[in-house]
């Protein structure tokens, strides 16, 4: 959707990337991309430093990223007939899904999720790129619906029938295609001409990934089939749900058979503890639950054994929940598979900080707590029993 050049920032003495449209007609799309990225702060999304206009051409200045595209990695790996290990693929997919979660929570739809738009950046991992087709959820008009790449295009995008506020579900369809390709080296639907390819997306049954790769776990295959469901309402309804399911799949690969799940609850609020324990009893059997009233007690519990899931009430006395998270990072205790923060009044800037502290989800306390807890407990723990 544009051209990217490497350049020197002479003021701050650093290398940067400058992105420009291929023509002045792309100025507005480039500005939309810059504004979308500037509103986000996520390790697996690129950072925008600034924007400007040179003559009649707009440009944006971004961080310079080094790596190879996921597309090139898939081609090289499967070209040598060495598939990407399932555990590695699931970890990468969970990371990409979390980047999607960040943009969807900001009310933005990417509309061009595909391996070409994911850059593998060494220790940083996958970075989701190219927001040239980005659009706010509230602005899904007929003029912008028919966009994206045909091999990854959701049926509702082909029919131009996506509902306002449901564009993120088309991103999840594209993500399902990307996941299938990561695990097999091929896309689920392919044809020699565009008309046939689009008809396959609309009409053909979703292939079971295990036909091509039998070692893929059944629950992962089921997730991919849901992601590529023809009707948006039959797909997972949030990218956060997908993140949790992928993290749970990663955990199941690493678990020893027969090991019970473990949950650590850090709260001095009896109502919070009771709500979490109620969900655990209703969904997961034989889970080892520990309750800590203070941050100090929680750090000791973490040193003894890593929990699969940890709930932290941010309104702790003494050491606050945020301080506990900082201590967890600094002390090097085993990090749980999933960390959930509970808060009465978390603001957007608070949530961004918590994301940087590797909190997987932030949910409000109060009457809707049970409803928020259910999918987390189900996705992380229920499948272990």
CA distance 218 to 44: 28
Query: Closest by alpha carbon to 162, among 111, 211, 217, 126?
Result: 111
Token pair of 160, please?
Answer: 């131009």
Degrees (nearest 5) of the Cα angle 312, 316, 320? Answer: 85
CA distance 300 to 108: 41
CA distance 385 to 375: 16
Query: Closest by alpha carbon to 171, among 101, 223, 120?
Result: 101
Token pair of 4, please?
Answer: 């990217």
CA separation (Å) from 121 to 45, 69, 129, 265? 11, 9, 12, 35
Are 263 and 307 a contacting pair, CB within 8 Å?
yes
The length of the chain in residues reads 385
Any catalytic annotation for residue 123? no
Are 154 and 232 a contacting pair, CB within 8 Å?
yes
Marked catalytic residue, from 8, 9, 98, 112: 112
Query: Closest by alpha carbon to 93, among 227, 202, 189?
Result: 227
**Active-site amino acid positions:** 112
């Amino acid at each position: 959707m544009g051209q990217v050049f490497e350049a020197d920032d002479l003021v701050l003495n650093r290398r940067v990337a400058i992105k420009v449209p291929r023509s002045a007609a792309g100025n507005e799309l480039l500005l939309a991309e810059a504004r979308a990225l500037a509103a986000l702060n996520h390790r697996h999304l690129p950072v925008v430093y600034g924007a400007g206009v040179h003559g009649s051409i707009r440009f944006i200045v971004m961080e310079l990223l080094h790596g190879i595209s996921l597309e090139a990695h898939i081609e090289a790996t499967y070209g040598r007939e060495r598939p990407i290990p399932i555990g590695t693929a699931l970890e990468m997919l969970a990371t990409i899904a979390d980047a999607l979660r960040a943009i969807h929570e900001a009310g933005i739809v990417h509309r061009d999720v595909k391996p070409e738009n994911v850059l593998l950046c060494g220790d940083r991992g996958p970075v989701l790129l190219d927001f040239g087709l980005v659009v706010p959820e509230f602005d899904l008009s007929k003029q912008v619906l028919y966009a994206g790449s045909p091999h990854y295009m959701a049926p509702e995008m082909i029919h131009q029938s996506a509902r306002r506020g449901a564009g993120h579900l088309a991103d999840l369809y594209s993500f399902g295609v990307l996941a299938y390709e990561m695990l097999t080296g091929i896309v689920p639907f392919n044809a020699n001409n565009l008309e046939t390819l689009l008809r396959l997306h609309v009409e053909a049954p979703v292939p079971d990934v295990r036909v091509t790769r039998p070692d893929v776990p059944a629950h992962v295959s089921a997730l991919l089939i849901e992601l590529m469901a023809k009707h948006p309402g039959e797909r997972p309804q949030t990218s956060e749900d997908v993140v949790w399911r992928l993290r749970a799949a990663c955990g199941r690969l690493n678990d020893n058979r027969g090991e019970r799940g473990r949950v650590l609850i850090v709260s001095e609020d009896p109502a919070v503890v009771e709500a979490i324990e109620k969900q655990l009893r209703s969904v997961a059997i034989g889970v080892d639950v520990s309750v800590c009233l203070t941050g100090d007690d929680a750090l000791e519990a973490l040193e003894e054994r890593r929990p699969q899931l940890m709930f932290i009430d941010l309104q702790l006395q003494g050491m606050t929940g945020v301080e506990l998270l900082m201590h967890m990072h600094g002390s090097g205790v085993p990090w749980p598979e999933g960390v959930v923060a509970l808060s009465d009044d978390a603001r957007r800037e608070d949530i961004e900080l918590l994301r940087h502290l590797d909190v997987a989800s932030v949910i409000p306390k109060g009457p809707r707590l049970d409803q928020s807890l259910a999918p987390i407990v189900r996705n992380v723990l229920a499948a272990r029993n």
